Amino acid sequence: MRRRNFLTRTGAGLASLTALSGCTGDGGDGTESASTESATDTEVTESATDTESVTDEGTTTGTVEELSGTLSVATYSSFVGEDTAGNWLKSEFESEHPDVTVEFETPENGLNQYIQRKSEGAPIDADLFVGLNTGELVRADEQLDEALFATASDRIEGADTVKPELQFDPDGRVVPYDTGYISLVYDEGEVDAPGTFDALLEPAYEDALIAQNAQQSDPGRAFLLWTIYNKDPDGYLDYWEGLVDNGVTILSDWEPAYNAYSDEEAPMVVSYSTDQVFYHGEGVDMSRHQIGFLNDQGYANPEGMAQFADSDDAELARAFASFALTAPAQREIATRNVQFPAVEGVDPGGDFGEYALEPPEPVTFTYDELSGNVSGWIDEWARQIASN
């Protein structure tokens, strides 16, 4: 196994926290199934006509296909609702294509629902999954014999503009649309920035850290992987035993963890480096929203879109994915989902550049590094740490 993968720094800024929980996802350990294009890919409900489309600068260019039908998009709950990225995408895409209706599905167990249905030969009943990360893709590939997602990135307009370092699917099924960096958020009035992973084991940080359960939380899983990255697969459990001995609190997911931090139950919480994008302004005590990059790192956690292999309207799914990669959509996703844009050269503007913080050294595990490993790592962590 290649132990680690370094990401180069991305250039643009971040986005607004439509809840810093914007990319908490479904949870689980992480893996997924290789895919090929569905045979039903040609069964589409669209006809091409020469109509003008409006560019980012307001000029018209090229032709846009007349789309019709209902698009079913599976995603996580905080991606949809009032003032969210999902709601904006739905509104704007439907405005551009009046004969299209976008419907969101937010299953409680996230991607696991579709893995289970696929394994049982049941209908998927969705066209596009939005919010997929590397570990989840690995999980699906490991648990399924048939393709859950179609290889479609070469037919999604704008896929080639995504920052190369964010691409995480070697088979071209998943196209990233944003990324976040897992970090610590801390109260500088209560503790000093810990600086390193080892510092968290010191008496000065006793009972100081709130983390999330890696079995059911995206940031919790990413933080666990970040510790494995630094302590190696043969040393991370000993490190976590040290965290437990020093009083780490492990809660189910990002929201209860951040609520506990907000209630001052501890002076540090595992969260996102975009925290200040949301929490700044008049009346905000910024001393409670400091960002801690342990070992000068942040764990990159890109989110992607993938067309289901069994989609009834594959071209409509790809059109929606293409729309999400346009510059206006990327700015809105970043601002509303409080994550960095995936497309190169997109600047969300406003306060984003001032308050969106990138780690000096972004790090992550690749698909190949997680494949065959991540489920075991999480299971071992759950038995030794979460169950105690």
Q: What is the pLDDT of residue 388?
A: 73
Tokens of 101: 């209706």
Task: Please give the domain boundaries of the chain with CATH numbers for all domains.
Answer: 19-179+302-349 (3.40.190.10), 181-299+377-386 (3.40.190.10)
Tokens of 104: 């969101």
Q: What is the pLDDT of residue 51?
A: 39
Select the more confidently predicted residue: 380 or 36: 380
pTM value surpassing 0.85: no
Summarised one tens digit per residue, pLDDT across range 51-92 is 344 444 433 333 456 899 999 999 999 999 999 999 999 999
Q: β-strands 100-105, 249-251: how paired? A: unpaired
Percentage of residues of the chain with pLDDT beyond 90 = 79
Summarised one tens digit per residue, pLDDT across range 324-346 is 999 999 999 999 999 999 999 99
Q: β-strands 174-186, 340-341: how paired? A: antiparallel
Tell me the average pLDDT across 170-193. 97
Q: What is the pLDDT of residue 34?
A: 34
Summarised one tens digit per residue, pLDDT across range 227-273 is 999 999 999 999 999 999 999 999 999 999 999 999 999 999 999 99
> CA 243 to CA 31: how far, in whole Å?
27
Question: Cα-Cα-Cα-Cα dihedral of 238, 244, 249, 255, to 10°?
Answer: 10
Tell me the average pLDDT across 103-110. 95
| Owner of token pair 């590094």 | 369
Tokens of 183: 């970090």
Summarised one tens digit per residue, pLDDT across range 346-379 is 999 888 888 999 999 999 999 999 999 999 999 9
* Per-chain mean pLDDT for the chain: 87
Q: What is the pLDDT of residue 288?
A: 96
Out of 20-24, 43-47, 140-144, pick the least confident: 43-47
Name the maximum alpha-carbon separation found in the chain.
Answer: 68
37: closest CA among 147, 141, 169?
A: 147
